[in-house]
Amino acid sequence: MTDGVFDRIALIGIGLIGSSIARDVKELGLAKEVVISTRSPETLRRAEELGLGTAYVASAAEAVRGADLVVVSVPVGASEEVARQIAPNLKPGAIITDVGSTKASVIAQMAPHMPQGVHFIPGHPLAGTEKSGPDAGFAGLFRGRWCIFTPLPDTDPQAMEKLKAFWTALGSRIDEMDPQHHDKVLAIVSHLPHIIAYNIVGTADDLETVTESEVIKYSASGFRDFTRLAASDPTMWRDVCLHNKDAILEMLARFSEDLAYLQRAIRWGEGDKLFDLFTRTRAVRRSIIEAGQDVDAPDFGRHALDAKK
pLDDT at 74 over 50: yes
CA atoms within 13 A on the CB side of 247: 23
Q: β-strand 123-125 against 146-149: which pairing, if any?
A: antiparallel
Say what the pLDDT of residue 1 is: 45
b (16+ CB within 10 A) / e for 112-132: ebbeeebbbbbbbbbbbbeeb
Percent of the chain topping pLDDT 90: 74
Distances (CA, A) of 145 to 33, 124, 142, 183: 25, 11, 5, 18
Residue type at 118 in one-letter notation: V
Class of domain 6-177: alpha beta
Cβ-based neighbour number of residue 208 at 10 Å: 5
The domain covering 181-308 belongs, at the CATH homologous superfamily level, to: 6-phosphogluconate dehydrogenase C-terminal like domain (1.10.3660.10)
Contact 72, 78 (CB under 8 A): no
Q: Considering just the CA atoms, what is the radius of gyration of the chain in Å?
A: 21
Query: Would the pLDDT of 212 be above 90?
Result: no
pLDDT digits (tens, 9 = 90+) for 118-133: 999 999 999 977 788 9
Confidence of residue 7 (pLDDT cuts 50, 70, 90): very high
Element spanning 295, H or E: none
Is pTM beyond 0.75 here?
Answer: yes
Q: What is 201-255 written as a DSSP string?
A: HHHHHH-TTS-HHHHHHTTTTHHHHHHHHHTS-HHHHHHHHHHSHHHHHHHHHHH
- CA–CA dist 93, 91 (Å, integer): 6
Q: Which pLDDT does position 215 carry in this prediction?
A: 78
Q: Are 57 and 8 in contact (CB under 8 A)?
A: no
Sequence ranges of the chain with CATH classification 3.40.50.720: 6-177
- Asked if pLDDT for residue 293 goes beyond 60, the answer is yes
Flag the least confident range among 147-151, 167-171, 268-272, 305-309: 305-309
Q: How confident is the model at residue 278 (pLDDT cuts 50, 70, 90)?
A: very high
Q: Which pLDDT score, from 0 to 100, does residue 162 have? A: 97
pLDDT of residue 284: 84
> What is the DSSP secondary structure assignment for residue 189, as one 8-state letter?
I
Q: Where in the chain do CATH 1.10.3660.10 domains reside?
A: 181-308
Q: What residues are paired with 35 via a beta bridge?
A: 10, 55
Contact 251, 192 (CB under 8 A): yes
Q: What is the pLDDT of residue 302?
A: 56
Q: What is the amino acid identity at position 196?
A: I
State pLDDT tens for residues 188-206. 999 999 999 999 888 888 7
Report the helix count and the strand count for the chain, using DSSP H and E: 14, 9
Give CA–CA dist 85/177, Å, rounded.
28
Give the least confident one: 54-63, 122-131, 258-267: 122-131
What share of the chain in percent tops pLDDT 70? Answer: 92
Q: What is the DSSP letter of 124?
A: E
